[in-house]
Amino acid sequence: MKSTELKPDEFPAYFANYLNQVSDEYTLVEELEISVHRLIKFVQNIPLDKFDYRYAEGKWTIKDILQHLIDAERIFAYRALRFARNDTTELKGFEENDYVDEANANKRSIQELLTELAVVRQASLSLFKSFSEEEFLRKGIASNNQISVRALGFAIIGHQNHHQSVFEERYL
């Protein structure tokens, strides 16, 4: 399945920004695999002095953003698992700024962060490969919004692509 197959009732309107940043060249599973390699290669080419750089007061560093991508992917994958298994419990949102404040990403090496990102993506890839067509179409409520399992998968990719664009526009 490709991102262009998503229907408007499968995701909240504010997710459109992320989903529009996903290429329809590949399937969800293919793009989950390809996009993480693309991001890792991109980050490895960033000059070392940029990893702790903030383009404005109060903004996140590249390390903070990488940790944010890791945390958000874990949360999106967890939501996808719950909804795929027909769990109808409404899931609360998370405050991304609080997560970044508590993560201490700037005390970690860039290699540690990239390794964790790759491991988390491998777990997400395995999870999404396990879903049936029926499970991909299941929906649940997270952050007071309905979202499908497959939209969560595409959101992982689009969210990553969004932040890579931010790197290019504001950090380099």
User: Per the structure, how many domains does the chain have?
Assistant: 1
Q: Which residue range forms the structural domain that includes residue 63?
A: 3-171
Alpha-carbon span 76 to 28, nearest angstrom: 14
How far is CA 157 from each of CA 28, 45, 79, 102, rounded to the nearest angstrom?
A: 9, 20, 15, 24
User: Does the predicted model carry a pTM greater than 0.75?
Assistant: yes
Q: Is the pLDDT of residue 172 over 90?
A: no
Please compute the mean of the pLDDT values over residues 154-159 and round it to a whole number: 97
Q: What is the DSSP string of 7-52?
A: -GGGS-GGGHHHHTTS-SSS-HHHHHHHHHHHHHHHHHTS-GGGTT
Q: Is the pLDDT of residue 148 over 90?
A: yes
User: What pLDDT score was predicted for residue 91?
Assistant: 97
pLDDT in tens, 8-21: 999 999 999 999 99
User: What pLDDT score was predicted for residue 171?
Assistant: 87
